[in-house]
Homo-oligomer: A and B are copies of this chain.
Amino acid sequence: MSSNNFTFQLHHTDAGCAARRSTFITPHGPVEMPAFMPVGTQGSVKGVEISQLRATGAQMVLGNTYHLTLRPGEEVVAALGGLHRFMGWDGPILTDSGGFQLYSLAERVEVSEQEVIFSSHIDGRLVTLSPERAVAIQEALGADVIMVLDHVLALPNELELIKDATQRTLRWAHRCRISAKRSDQALFAIVQGGLDTELRKWCAQELRAMNFAGYALGGLSVGEKPEQMYRVLDVTVPELPPDKPRYLMGVGRPEDILEAVRRGIDLFDCVIPTRNGRNAMAFTDQGPLRLRNLQYERDDSPLESGCPCAACQRSRGYIRHLFMAGEMLGPILLSIHNLTYYQRLLAHARAAIETDRFDVFRQQKLAAWAGKGMKDEG
């Protein structure tokens, strides 16, 4: 898909690695890359009001096709003005395709070449998804970037199954490609292939030939080891066109993000900052804090000194109290803090790339996290 509504500007590639500094311009504004998208599964980043979300520094958010088609239904979202207006986010939005749920809800899914039939995780109602339907839902939702339907499997897995799913992903990508109609939406392809380097390369080459507006790596962070994922990035990213954004779906931990940026990835999404925040874990440059720990009971310092977020206007002791007392504000504040932390991490990564020192930056971060993180989680 090509469109005048989208421009990818590659500003600079780090002299010491493949990290890229770029801007992706969408109909709802620019995204400075590498970028991290908070996850608004059901049209809401859990517990975070839109003005708070904006204050974290996020530029683009993710919505979830499977969840939104179940509730409230894409026709309701469309009747309420589309996903941007519905959730009150006037910046860029990306929707996934539902392909991830072929993995995460595998026991509720029947996959055929023509379509996928889900038994809804809410009420058991049967929901059909096909490449065409995934595109139609995403066109009704109206995100800036929409994703092809892909066939995601758990890893590790049998090579024959991976190969079959990868081939299907290619056929489905083609069906999505000819089905997508809106010129104000960019359709991204998704490279599959499990941990098999040849399959990944082949899939990337095939998709590249179809000339999509952007390219994602899917089927990762689904059970494999981090090093296995990095290896997939090593062999796959070089096969992708340099003039299109590259998106690593569902990743990840801060260290994973830096490893992927180093290998040339431009875009990320993950529930970790919000989910971990709801579970009383705060990211800091000295490693994670577990806020339920007694050691924070009378700790008057902020989660992280210098962090401008709302949570860091309070003390660790107060936030611990909120979690111990079961107050909603605890999950809210740590979600905000962690999202702010992720955005700051990516902002610093962008600055490091601009001055050709990304790898030094990455090593410093990893060292600081490992030092305190081990102590804190021991």
With most chain B CB atoms within 10 A of its CB, the pick from A50, A320, A321 is A321
Whole-angstrom distance between the Cβ of A62 and the nearest chain B Cβ: 15
Residues of B within 8 A of A321 (CB): 42-43, 71-72, 76, 86
| Contact of A329 (CB < 8 Å), options: B46, B76, B86, B329 | B46
| B80 touching A315, Cβ below 8 Å | yes
Rounded to whole Å, the gap between the CB of A3 and the closest CB of chain B is 28
Interface string of A7-28 (1 = CB under 8 A from B): 0000000000000000000000
**Which A297-320 residues have a C-beta within 8 angstroms of B?**
297-298, 300, 310, 313-315, 317-318, 320
> Quick check: is A328 within 8 A (CB to CB) of the other chain?
yes
Which residues in A have some Cβ–Cβ distance to B below 8 Å?
42-44, 46-52, 67, 71-72, 76, 79-81, 85-88, 297-298, 300, 310, 313-315, 317-318, 320-322, 324-325, 327-329, 331-333, 336
- What's the nearest-Cβ distance from chain B to residue A332, in Å? 6
One of B43, B298, B314, B328 near A328 (C-beta < 8 A):
B328
CA distance A52 to B325 in the complex (A): 21
Closest chain B CB from A214 CB (angstroms): 28
Q: Decide: B297 and A49 in contact? CB cutoff 8 A.
A: no
Contact A298 B333 (CB under 8 A): no
Q: With A76-B317, A80-B300, A317-B72 in contact, do A49 and B47 touch (Cβ < 8 Å)?
A: no
Query: Which residues of the partner chain B approach A49 to less than 8 Å between Cβ atoms?
Result: 52, 310, 329, 332-333, 336
CA distance A85 to B332 in the complex (A): 19
